[in-house]
Structure 1
Amino acid sequence: MSFHHRMMLQRYGLGCTTSLYSEVLFDPIFTPIFTAVLGTGGFAIGATTITYASIASAIATTAISIGLQALLAQAPKPPKPEDGRAPLNQAIPFRIYAVGRTRVAGARMMWEAKGSNLYSVQAIAGHRIKSFNRFYLNDDEVTVVDNVVTPLTTGGRYGAGSANVRLYTRLGANPETPYAELVSALGADGIWTNDHRGDGQASLAMRAHNADAQDQQTAFPYGAPSPSVEIDGAYCWDFRDPAQDPTDQTTWTWTRNSAVILAWHLCFNEFGFGLDYQKALLPVIDLWKEEADICDEDVPLAGGGTEKRYQCNGWDTTENGPKSGLNAILATCDGHLVARGDGARILTVGKFRESRTATLRDADLIGHNLQYGVLFEDECNRLVPKFTYPATNYTSCDTDFFEDTDAQIAAGRVLTMEGSYEWCHQWRQARRLGKRDWLRQRQEVKGSLDVRLSGINSVYARWVRLETPKRLPKLDGKLVENRRSIVALTKGGFTMDFIEHPEGIDDWNPATEEGQQPPVPPAVNASEIPTPVINLIQAKANGGSVYIRVVIIDPEDGSLTPVVRYRVSDADGLGTPGAWVEQSNPNAEPSGGYIDLSTGNVPTDEVLDVQAAFIASNRRYSNWSVTETVTSTSDPTPPVALASFSLTGSAPRLGNAGFAFSTGNDAHVKSVAIYRVATGAAFDPDTATLVATKAVAPSASYTATDGDTTRTNLVINGDFASSAGWTLGTDITISGGTANKAAAGGIQELFRDITAVSSGKTVRGKFNITSWTSGNVRARLRNIAANTAQDASDKNTVGEHLFSMLTTAARDRFGFRFDAASVGSIDNAIAYEATASCAPQGTWDYYAVPSNGSNIAGPASGPLTVTII
């Protein structure tokens, strides 16, 4: 097809619909801003020229699903979770990155024997990590106290006779601290010196001391010990927290949130895509916040309690390239990622919203290819979700599968497909993800659409509503899901692969759909005691205090005493966990295959780490279970809305705003926070400015203030009730309550004495223009003795005008400068010396939000709109 012919088709497509001009040009969410990369050929949309090169390089849609994974079978995939048990042995190993909580052995950097000692160092991650949680030697989990592996759970392994093993860790600070014991032993030989710090590299070091000959087989039955660790991985910028700075990693936090981790991988991971966050995230940051909040939504569990909707945990190496990790992260949240033409990335996680829906009409389509029914080679009548199971020491595991027995009978066999969610570590989450893919796989209406350039918004939307009574009458009014879109100029613009959106894909009934917890093979330690498997963990509020309920699977051994321990995850505000508090449950009885345990009262409103173990009759312990995290919320009930919220005082408001509010008859309300946002802006307490917090009681009234209430007006007779105190220019008069400038030549001034304001102070104020014909007027500060002046900006429209000036010298006069052409009247002049505690000048909306004792917020009251002078 010739270039001329293509241009004719494009012009025809643009002319067939008005949606291009009503949606594409003005849609703030999905409209791409293209930037030319190569070439000069292009076409115009309105006044914007878009080049072919920029489209071809910019438009891409990535949607992770079972079907697409089949198409991308050759795409790189992260290492299997079992690969994290043994370190990589390569001359130049690939770098490793880790997110969330996972088990990894890293890569060996040094392996050296000297005398009776074996020394090793393993690179765990090529970035700073939060913590080392658990330690393994070969497949034995070991307890480490003051760097020494203790024989508490090893039955003599790694500690028989003279044998002992020491483990040392570094979190990846920059600069990092050398391993002193290794330097002492190997530094003189140049093998490991103080220069081997590993700046920015999380690492693990080991020193293993031989046992006597008669104890060697007991101490090291598997030969030289091979360490691996459970870690909490990378710190990420949580863009919802205003205290975190994207340019300062020390303000970041550890997280499992899939959306936050994806943003880190796209922009901040040294081994990720390396995108500029100011282009990739900031233009659409509100959309990213929405997705992160959805990932953090609490999903109810069948046995009680909740878990987060979408969490991500995993590790990868640079051997695979960044797309491997991208696909793994997206799989944990049923994610759909779009690269917009201006470099922005739009993420949509698996939860339908009308706000992420576009519309395609008959005139937006140039062709289609529909499939009704499923081809034999694509048929699936059983879907098996696979995830990584921490309870089996981080191995791949299956959950209960989804199947259609009628379809199996019709097909004459079971046609199985696996849903791979390797960076998902929660079996219930894997089930929820599997249901979504299972329902999509069962949809019979699939196909592709050739979309004109006028339908460009649909390329960037995850869901598309079809209004196609002529071209696709069977699909008219239907909702379809955009699975993958590519540029196809020869087909009119884009080709979109779609599937009909399944009904009920977001519905979830834990009682019937959660399934059974995957079985955990008996994993005994060297003391022959099985490790508990936690089925459920729940914080239970009880009269202002909180205890933790822990449900474990019955080991069917009445001689074992279950024990629970907990600690505060961040005891000092710097990420350091507190001490473990242990409590046994000797009277707990099994019921229905489970044992229900509970702790005593725990610290309230804290994030707690919780583990379980068994104690045998000989007082030996099993290994501790996988660490679970729970928030000890003492009051889960949000308070009701405030009974009232109003402004106090009256205008003009010199650097402050006052408020009065009353609480309702609600025992849950404990505090009220007042927030300030720019007028007309959406209210989000995570990004709004907190201006006041009040401890409150039910059915009571309070006041609060934003700013400095001590400011007074320096301008006497600023309402021009008379001319007293004012010095008037030749063509200026004061009458009728206004100062008036007549039509005459020359620059004129109007001024009066004020209390002196020293240099370096801020003078803020306002005045009204009541009528205006021509020219400009500006506020002015003067110094009498030096005869110097400084001015605010020119004004020339009727209305209220604010000004602010930082004094460059002492000022003791205030007034106005009228230029030669000015004709008009002014009134209500105010000026005052502002302080650092003054509320910022401008027009603001204020909101009041009540919270309970656990900082759970109730409904916001407001906005109250206030102009601060």
Structure 2
Amino acid sequence: MVAMISALLPGLTGSITVGGVALTTAAGGLTVAGTLANLGGSLLLSSAANALAAPSVSQQQTRWTLSDLSSLLTKRFVYGETRAVGSRIVRCAEGKNSNNLYLCYLLNSRASEGEFELLLDKRRVTLTGNPYDFTGPGGAASNYPFVNYTQVWFGLGDQSGPPDEILDDMKSGASDPILATDAAQGCTVVWIKLHAGPPGERVKRWKSMPPFVEVEGKFSKVWDPRDVSQDADDPATWQWSENHALCVLDALRTNPTRPYQTRNLLIDQWKVAADASEEIVSLKSGGSEKRYSLGGTLAFDGAEIEDAIAPLMTAGAADFVRSAGRLGIRPAVWVAPVHELVDVLEYATVQTLQPGENLSTQVNVNYTSKARQYEEAALAPWNIPGAQAADGGAASVVEYGLHWAGSAQQAMRVRKILGLRARRQKTFAGVAPPSFAECEAGDNITVNLPSPFVSRNGTYEIRSTHPAIDALGEGGVAMRCPVSLIEHSSDIYDWDPATDEEDIDDPVYDGTDDDMDPPGAIAVTSGAGVDLDNGGALIPRFRFAFAPSVSAAVTGYEWQWRLDGEPWQAGGVIGAEIIDDDDDVIVYLPASSVSVGHDFRVRAVGRTDISDWIDLTGAFYDMSLSGVAAVAGLGFATFTGTAPANSVFTGVRIYRSAGNDFDTATMVEGLNAIDPGAAFTVHAGDETTVNMLVDGDLDDPLAWTIGSEWTMTGGIAEKAVAETSPGYSDRSVMQVIPFTYGATHRYAITTVSRVSSGVAVFMGGGSTIDGVLKSRGDTFGGVGTAFGVFDAPTAPASTEVGFLGWTQHVGEVDSVAIFEQTADHLAQGEAYFWVVPITTTGAEGQPNGPHQLTII
């Protein structure tokens, strides 16, 4: 036959290629029917037509089907980076601990790349440790509510058996033991060890039993024919990829239904498609992504393999090509025309307008949204530009399920391609000359016919070719190529993200348990109107109120309480009908302490579920004092403020500490009775104490005997020059005042400037100063207030009291005080004070303070 062809077509020798197959090697490529020898041909199989004929099942539906415990275990391949559901293959509820549950779930019927994240009943599990090590403890859950109750091991396909820890647990007491042979070798699995936990928390932790298991991560490794280091027959050399063309190629080659042999595939076309899938496309957000990727689970449920794979093809708007018995692919990218048709041997049909009912004006698309936890989402309906105006009438809507598309943006690009392809109306069918034999279905060509056929000119896509040889030459030409064409344009593939990409309103995922909504925020009140009057004695208590949960399944509310830092204590259950006039749920709690904060928490409870806890911390019984001010006096302190309008309030005590820590404070003033809500003034120490000096503020020079070295004006005593005379009287400022001989006295002296030397407070008699018997305090050589104590002289030569400047002193004094110390005075010095409210039962409320004072 080849010899015949060569004789008939001397210009096309045995090296001719038709439909991608060399004639000399095309097994079965030549058949004789009558006088024509068919040389094979090529046919474009539309992914859009396949998608409409066999609508795609959503990935969400696939996951639910595979998780059905009543269904048979289905073989599945998981591609790309996605979320896969687990199908339970091992369950054992006993072992060393009957409260443990041991589970194994099939994720992928082949090896996977990893790494993985686990979700139980739609809740993400955070793991610490190494969940891929079957010889160790695996990954331990570290987040609520799974922490301390969940261990996880991921098998990527290279596992040789179950985790060692699970096998060890099975050595005793297991009624249905897990065996070392339960390996699921070559498959991707997840082993989970669950502990039931406290009975009161089980319904919260385990929403279903066994739980609904999902795993996110990178799954199947696939062969890339572009990489010479990868062997098509050795999966160990393959790499993970979400490349659209490579994943579809893998599904064709490795499926368990009817795998394609590599020799039956047009590998060069798959390489070109893989390159096209990896082209970078800009996004409206400013980022970019690869043109065509996919992710999802392909379940082999008995359907024809081409039907099963059709949704994968549609996700990239790619078309299959059958050529000379082999299968290729045409990616959805524009390729410049490869041939010009300038003449035809025979015209068959030409059609410029399709019936209106065959054309769509609007495209609806569903896709899998990663942002929505891999659930089905819909793009906005897309009106094909100009279509409705051209067709009139009601909108004609076509729907595509792009559940395998790698992103919403990819689904938008595919939507445009499928929609514009569906609007193509101009078709051409005829017999092309022998030069057309090198073209294949899916190629773009230019038709450039002479007059009077110029109306048929334009750019077309080849839908089919059928090269044939007229063995007898009856048609006048030895080779003829019947073709079918459809108009085509690069506009179909143009994409401007700024104008073509629609905004996606994806909600922010809230990982908290939303099966039962928690109650509203907690409000707390106490004091008047809340305390319990049981017939004379008032019992202080709190009133906690919160808005009800919006979940219809709520039957009541569980609440707990504790004092700060202590373990939680059960409070009880509040009926859902216990509400106040504001429709808030309420509960009362007696105050265990009026000085320690109370923590309160509540959650909604249903028959089969509970909500998250809602907490309120640091609730103090309302014993707060308002407007408290503190002033230091001479051996005493004064505190003013307003008492709480609280029926159990009875008065205040005063506490003092050397440091800013109430725990170290001691009481310096006992109970002072105060009416609830009344203004108060309370003293600690002897508030009757006064300065024994007349005019301690130095405002009246006549009240003093002023030495020659001093002057006194405007409330300031100034010694401007160093001493020039030996007499102490020249450098002293004093008064003659009776005092108790030998008694301990306190003093304070305040200076506003100092140039040299210092000043000292004195009382006449006792010790010698410049030959005169006197007692004195310590010398103060600074600026500010100095205070101290000293004993008055026991046998004074006089009762002079005042202050003096030493030999070379120069400076100014602002005030001075001296008084006799008694046991009723507060300790002298800097300290911190608290005003503490007291209840009618003698309990102390929250301290008000600290107030920092310096006691003279």
**Structure 2 length normalisation: TM-score?**
0.51
**Structure 2 counterparts to residues 184-203 of structure 1, below 5 A:** 184-186=168-170, 189=175, 191-203=177-189
**Structure 2 counterparts to residues 692-707 of structure 1, below 5 A:** none
Deviation, 1:263, is 2.9
| Counterpart in the other structure of 1:817 | none
1:207 to 193, 206, 222: 193
Structure 1: distance between partners of 2:323 and 2:385:
43
- Alpha-carbon contact 2:30-2:37 (below 8 Å) kept: yes
| Counterpart in the other structure of 2:234 | 248
Determine whether 1:310 maps to 2:289.
no
| Counterpart in the other structure of 1:517 | 504
- Alpha-carbon contact 2:18-2:437 (below 8 Å) kept: no
Question: Aligned letter for 1:178?
Answer: P
2:160 to 163, 173, 176: 176
2:422 to 437, 441, 444: 441
Question: Aligned letter for 1:102?
Answer: T
Instruction: Report the 3-state secondary structure (helix = DSSP H, G, I; strand = E; otherwise coil) of the residue aligned with 2:445.
Output: strand
Structure 2: distance between partners of 1:481 and 1:529:
56
Structure 1: distance between partners of 2:231 and 2:508:
45
**Structure 2 counterparts to residues 489-528 of structure 1, below 5 A:** 498-520=485-507, 523-526=510-513
| Counterpart in the other structure of 2:697 | none
Determine whether 1:328 maps to 2:311.
yes
Structure 2: give runs of 5+ residues left out of the alignment.
132-137, 518-613, 616-856
Determine whether 1:121 maps to 2:104.
yes
Structure 1: give runs of 5+ residues left out of the alignment.
1-6, 531-616, 619-869
Structure 1: distance between partners of 2:67 and 2:262:
33
Aligned residue pairs: how many?
Answer: 496
Deviation, 1:493, is 8.4
Q: Aligned in 2, Cα 1:245/1:353: closer, same or farther, shift over 3 Å? A: same
Q: Aligned in 2, Cα 1:522/1:193: closer, same or farther, shift over 3 Å? A: closer
Determine whether 1:83 maps to 2:62.
yes
Deviation, 1:136, is 1.3
Determine whether 1:414 maps to 2:395.
yes
Deviation, 1:406, is 6.1
1:172-230 Cα deviation digits (max 9, x unpaired): 12x63323344344576564311111111111222322233222222224454211111
Please say which of residues 430-439 and 329-338 is displaced more in the overlay. Answer: 329-338
**RMSD (Å) for aligned C-alpha atoms:** 4.4
| Counterpart in the other structure of 1:386 | 366
Structure 2: distance between partners of 1:442 and 1:252:
40
Structure 1: distance between partners of 2:123 and 2:382:
34
**Structure 2 counterparts to residues 629-668 of structure 1, below 5 A:** none
- Alpha-carbon contact 2:441-2:463 (below 8 Å) kept: no
Question: Aligned letter for 2:413?
Answer: R
2:376 to 368, 386, 396: 396
Question: Aligned letter for 1:507?
Answer: D
Structure 1: distance between partners of 2:353 and 2:71:
52
Structure 2: distance between partners of 1:290 and 1:215:
56
Look at both structures and tell me which one has the larger radius of gyration over its CA atoms.
2
**Structure 2 counterparts to residues 58-137 of structure 1, below 5 A:** 59-65=42-48, 67-70=49-52, 73-74=53-54, 77=56, 80-84=59-63, 87-89=67-69, 92-114=72-94, 115-137=98-120
Deviation, 1:468, is 3.8
Structure 2: distance between partners of 1:340 and 1:262:
18
Deviation, 1:422, is 1.6
Structure 1: distance between partners of 2:59 and 2:416:
23
- Alpha-carbon contact 2:141-2:151 (below 8 Å) kept: no
- Alpha-carbon contact 2:371-2:509 (below 8 Å) kept: no
1:714-752 Cα deviation digits (max 9, x unpaired): xxxxxxxxxxxxxxxxxxxxxxxxxxxxxxxxxxxxxxx
- Alpha-carbon contact 1:364-1:454 (below 8 Å) kept: no
Structure 2: distance between partners of 1:183 and 1:471:
83
Q: Aligned in 2, Cα 1:374/1:38: closer, same or farther, shift over 3 Å? A: closer
1:375-408 Cα deviation digits (max 9, x unpaired): 2322322112332111111122222442158654
Q: Aligned in 2, Cα 1:443/1:244: closer, same or farther, shift over 3 Å? A: same
Determine whether 1:424 maps to 2:410.
no
Structure 2: distance between partners of 1:200 and 1:417:
41
Deviation, 1:131, is 0.7
Determine whether 1:218 maps to 2:204.
yes
**Structure 2 counterparts to residues 682-697 of structure 1, below 5 A:** none
Q: Aligned in 2, Cα 1:102/1:32: closer, same or farther, shift over 3 Å? A: farther
Determine whether 1:465 maps to 2:446.
yes
Q: Aligned in 2, Cα 1:220/1:368: closer, same or farther, shift over 3 Å? A: same
Question: Aligned letter for 2:32?
Answer: G
Question: Aligned letter for 1:129?
Answer: S
Determine whether 1:275 maps to 2:274.
no
**Structure 2 counterparts to residues 594-743 of structure 1, below 5 A:** none
1:478-522 Cα deviation digits (max 9, x unpaired): 111234668999999887654311342232211111121243375
Q: Aligned in 2, Cα 1:111/1:326: closer, same or farther, shift over 3 Å? A: same
Question: Aligned letter for 2:312?
Answer: I
| Counterpart in the other structure of 2:271 | 289
Q: Aligned in 2, Cα 1:149/1:432: closer, same or farther, shift over 3 Å? A: same
Instruction: Report the 3-state secondary structure (helix = DSSP H, G, I; strand = E; otherwise coil) of the residue aligned with 2:51.
Output: helix
1:46-67 Cα deviation digits (max 9, x unpaired): xxxx976x84xx85432323x4
Structure 1: distance between partners of 2:201 and 2:124:
20
Q: Aligned in 2, Cα 1:308/1:23: closer, same or farther, shift over 3 Å? A: farther
Q: Aligned in 2, Cα 1:524/1:480: closer, same or farther, shift over 3 Å? A: same
Q: Aligned in 2, Cα 1:33/1:259: closer, same or farther, shift over 3 Å? A: farther
Q: Aligned in 2, Cα 1:165/1:261: closer, same or farther, shift over 3 Å? A: same
| Counterpart in the other structure of 2:244 | 258
- Alpha-carbon contact 2:338-2:443 (below 8 Å) kept: yes
Structure 2: distance between partners of 1:420 and 1:521:
24
Q: Aligned in 2, Cα 1:29/1:90: closer, same or farther, shift over 3 Å? A: same
Question: Aligned letter for 1:280?
Answer: L
Instruction: Report the 3-state secondary structure (helix = DSSP H, G, I; strand = E; otherwise coil) of the residue aligned with 2:202.
Output: helix
Structure 2: distance between partners of 1:342 and 1:93:
34
- Alpha-carbon contact 2:320-2:330 (below 8 Å) kept: yes
Structure 1: distance between partners of 2:151 and 2:73:
24
Q: Aligned in 2, Cα 1:241/1:423: closer, same or farther, shift over 3 Å? A: same
1:299 to 281, 287, 300: 281
| Counterpart in the other structure of 2:32 | 42
Question: Aligned letter for 2:59?
Answer: K
Structure 2: distance between partners of 1:466 and 1:483:
14
| Counterpart in the other structure of 1:368 | 349
Structure 1: distance between partners of 2:168 and 2:192:
14
Deviation, 1:308, is 1.0
Deviation, 1:456, is 4.3
Instruction: Report the 3-state secondary structure (helix = DSSP H, G, I; strand = E; otherwise coil) of the residue aligned with 1:169.
Output: strand
Structure 1: distance between partners of 2:395 and 2:14:
47
- Alpha-carbon contact 1:279-1:342 (below 8 Å) kept: yes
| Counterpart in the other structure of 1:658 | none
Deviation, 1:297, is 1.6
Structure 2: distance between partners of 1:497 and 1:191:
64
1:658-696 Cα deviation digits (max 9, x unpaired): xxxxxxxxxxxxxxxxxxxxxxxxxxxxxxxxxxxxxxx
Instruction: Report the 3-state secondary structure (helix = DSSP H, G, I; strand = E; otherwise coil) of the residue aligned with 1:192.
Output: coil
Instruction: Report the 3-state secondary structure (helix = DSSP H, G, I; strand = E; otherwise coil) of the residue aligned with 1:135.
Output: strand
Please say which of residues 487-496 and 384-393 is displaced more in the overlay. Answer: 487-496
